[in-house]
Amino acid sequence: MEKMWAGRFQKALDKLADDFNSSIHFDHRMYKQDITGSMVHAMMLSRQGIISENEYHEILNGLSNILEDIESGKLEIDMNAEDIHMFVESELTKRIGISGKKLHTARSRNDQVALDVRLYLGAECEQIAAQIKKLIEVIKDKANENKDAILPGYTHLQRAQPISFAHHILSYAFMLKRDFERIGDALVRMNKECPIGSCALAGTTYNTDREFEAERLGFSGISLNSIDGVSDRDFCLELMSAFSILMMHLSRFSEEIILWSSWEFKFVELDDSYTTGSSIMPQKKNPDMAELVRGKTGRVYGDLMSLLTTLKGLPLAYNKDMQEDKEAIFDAVDTVKMCLDVFTPMIATMTVLKDNMYKAAGKGFINATDLADYLVKKGMPFRTAYKHVGEIVGYCIKENLILDTLPIEKYKEFDASFEEDLYNEISLETCVSKRISAGSTGPDSVKNQIEFLTEFLNEKGIH
| Residues annotated catalytic, as ranges | 156, 278
Helix (H, G, I), strand (E, B), or coil: what is residue 129? helix
**Cα 88 to chain centroid, rounded:** 32
**Cα 277 to chain centroid, rounded:** 29
Whole-number Å distance between alpha carbons of 266 and 273: 18
DSSP 12: P
Alpha helix locations (H) across 146-278? 165-190, 210-216, 226-231, 234-260
Whole-number Å distance between alpha carbons of 202 and 159: 63
φ, ψ of residue 323 to 5 degrees: the values are: -60, -25
Taking residue 64's Cβ as centre, other Cβ atoms within 10 Å add up to 12
Q: What is the dihedral of CA 194, 200, 205, 206, to 10 degrees?
A: -50
Whole-number Å distance between alpha carbons of 174 and 176: 5
Whole-number Å distance between alpha carbons of 107 and 115: 11
User: For the purposes of burial, counting CB atoms within 10 Å of the CB of 438, is it exposed (0-12), middle (13-18) or buried (19 or more)?
Assistant: exposed
Cis peptide before 166 (omega within 30 of 0): no
DSSP 314: P
Whole-number Å distance between alpha carbons of 325 and 308: 9
Residue type, 39: M
Least Cα distance to 413 among 401, 425, 397, 395 occurs for 395
Whole-number Å distance between alpha carbons of 166 and 55: 62
